[in-house]
Structures are given as structure tokens and as C-alpha cells.
Amino acid sequence: MPSKNIPLQHRLPTTYRIQAVKKETEFVTTMTFPVSLGAKPGQFVMAWLPGVEEIPMSVALDDGKKLQITFFAVGDTTRKLAQLKKGDLVGLRGPFGTQYEWKPKQRLALVAGGYGAAPMFFAASAAAENGCSLEVFVGARSKEHLLYIQAFRKLPKTALHIATDDGSEGFKGFNVGLLDKILTDRKHSKSKPFVDQIFACGPERMLVAVSNLSFAKKIPSQLSLERYMKCGYGLCGNCVVDPLGIRLCVDGPVVRNETCRKISEFGKCHRDGLGKKHAF
């Protein structure tokens, strides 16, 4: 059954002219559209390039006036998207999926890998408006690949922690390793937790590390899981995960850790557009 909560007009694409294009790095682009779809942090849209493909993209910002996506040029559609210019047309439908949830004034740790920095920034700026204090852990292969660093630095009540695999900036190692170190150094205890919740978005092996750390330290977490999406609203079944049978376009992409840990394929394999399993 498709989700009944998604209005028909959100299920159909509307084309919008690109308002601005920003090259974040050699392979990463942020695109701005002059529209609000009322998206919340963690949700995604289906971006349609007529004559090419339609692909899922996390919402990097929806401030009520404009919507942004940030993407890596990895294949046919994303490479063609990256060649578009201001004024070109892109179809968008959505928003779809679950969102990150927090309470006002909570202390949150946000763990971002790769383009996960974009949806994490959307969550960070919305949570900061709710008076939350933030510990942000951005990781990348090396300093040239770090994303949204200046934007995170401008947020109130935010401590930014940078980790690079090669040590070219910040901590040498993974961002989850840095979070683990800080949790241990600050003697996280049940009576006074360092953070109330952990949010994460990034490659699945990073999410598995966050899941294990959050479980070990007994800190609740919400993780953004990606699977091959087609319809985006619960109809086609392509994004179903074993053995729970939940559809990640409706019951995800943001999933609580208790549920992630019941997904047997979490961190192990995913399905392609034909439903064939591939190991990570």
C-alpha cells in the first residue's frame, strides 16, 4: 500500500528552474530551486532529469522559500545534473520519508560522512533554532572533500569536530572514532550524558559504527539508511529491507537504532533496481 499521508500533488513531479548552482568541491554540487516543498530534515525528494532518470536526493535545505540538494557526480544522472546551469529545468517530487526528531534544548551529536553533511546541516540549523546545542562530527577522505564546514561554523551553540582519513585536517581517522574518543574522554555517564541523541547520515559502514557506538554507550540514535528508490512513496517495494519488510521510502530513510539493529542486511548488502542483492 502506498502511504495515504502523501498528497497526490507531491507524488507527481513538477519542473522548476534552477535558481543557483554552487560547486562545493570537484565532484560535489549544490543546486537551489525557488520553491518550498515543506520538507523536514532527513526527508528526500525524487529529482527527475527529463530523458535521463529520476533519483532520490536528500533535502539539504528547505527554508520556506527555497529548496537545496547537494550531490556527488557518481553516475549518468548525477553527472548530467552537475552540468546544468542556472535557469535549466529539473523535475522534483516529494518530500518523502521520515525526518530526524528532537526535543527543544536537547544536546545532539550529528555525525556526517560524504554528502551526508548536507542533510545533517539542515537538521543542525533547524535544531539550533529550537535551542539545541550541537556537537557536529564531519568526516571525509581528506580536507578537499570536507563539506559544509563554513556553514556549520556559523551555527549558534555548535562545536565542530573534523576528522579526515589522511589527517590533512583535524583528527586523523574516522569521525565516529573521534566521537567515541570524546565520549570516553568526557566520561559520559548515565546521570549526565554528553549528548541526548546521535543523528547520522553517510556511508553505511559509518552508520554501522555509529549504531554500535550508540548501542554500547546507551545513547539513542537516528540513522539515515539508503536503498534503491523508485516510487518514493511505498508503492513499488524496491526499498524493502530484510527481514522486517519495512519500506525505507516510507518507514525511513531516518530509522531509529533499535530498528536498524533488527535489519539483517544493515551494513552487509543492498538491492539494485532489479531487486538483486549486492554486498557492500
Ligand X SMILES: Cc1cc2nc3c(=O)[nH]c(=O)nc-3n(C[C@H](O)[C@H](O)[C@H](O)COP(=O)(O)OP(=O)(O)OC[C@H]3O[C@@H](n4cnc5c(N)ncnc54)[C@H](O)[C@@H]3O)c2cc1C
Q: Minimum Å distance from CB 42 to ligand FES?
A: 16
Q: What is the DSSP string of the chain?
A: ---TTS-HHHHS-EEEE--EEEE-SSSEEEEEES------TT-EEEEEETTTEEEEEE-SEE-SS-EEEEEE--SHHHHHHHT--TT-EEEEEEEES------TT-EEEEEEEGGGHHHHHHHHHHHHHTT-EEEEEEEESSGGG--SHHHHHTSTTEEEEEEETTSSSSEES-HHHHHHHHHHHTT--SSS-S-SEEEEES-HHHHHHHHHHHHHHT--EEEE-----SSSSSSS-TTEETTTTEETTTT-SEEEHHHHTT-TTTTTEEE-TTS-EEE-
Among ligand FES, ligand X, none, what does residue 118 contact (CB within 5–8 Å per kind)? ligand X
Task: Judge whether 208 and 115 are in contact, CB under 8 Å.
Answer: no
Q: By CB under 6 A, name the binding residues for ligand X.
A: 44, 53, 55-58, 69-72, 74-78, 115, 118, 226-229, 253
Among ligand FES, ligand X, none, what does residue 74 contact (CB within 5–8 Å per kind)? ligand X
Among ligand X, ligand FES, none, what does residue 215 contact (CB within 5–8 Å per kind)? none
Q: Which is nearer to ligand X, 76 or 129 (CB)?
A: 76
Q: Which is nearer to ligand X, 134 or 225 (CB)?
A: 225
Among ligand X, ligand FES, none, what does residue 50 contact (CB within 5–8 Å per kind)? none
Among ligand X, ligand FES, none, what does residue 57 contact (CB within 5–8 Å per kind)? ligand X
Q: By CB under 6 A, name the binding residues for ligand FES.
A: 229-232, 234-239, 247, 249
Among ligand FES, ligand X, none, what does residue 236 contact (CB within 5–8 Å per kind)? ligand FES
Q: Which is nearer to ligand FES, 161 or 247 (CB)?
A: 247
Q: Which is nearer to ligand FES, 44 or 137 (CB)?
A: 44
Among ligand X, ligand FES, none, what does residue 36 contact (CB within 5–8 Å per kind)? none
Q: Minimum Å distance from CB 248 to ligand FES?
A: 6
Question: What is the rounded CA–CA span in Å between residue 142 and residue 45?
Answer: 29
Q: Which is nearer to ligand X, 57 or 90 (CB)?
A: 57
Q: Minimum Å distance from CB 175 to ligand FES?
A: 29
* 114 closest CA partner among 137, 95, 84: 137
Q: What does the angle CA 264 – CA 99 – CA 89 come to, to the nearest 5 degrees?
A: 105
Q: Which is nearer to ligand FES, 213 or 231 (CB)?
A: 231
Q: Which is nearer to ligand X, 49 or 179 (CB)?
A: 49
Q: Which residue's beta carbon is nearest to the bound ligand X?
A: 75
Q: Minimum Å distance from CB 103 to ligand X?
A: 25
Residue 167: Cβ within 10 Å count: 12
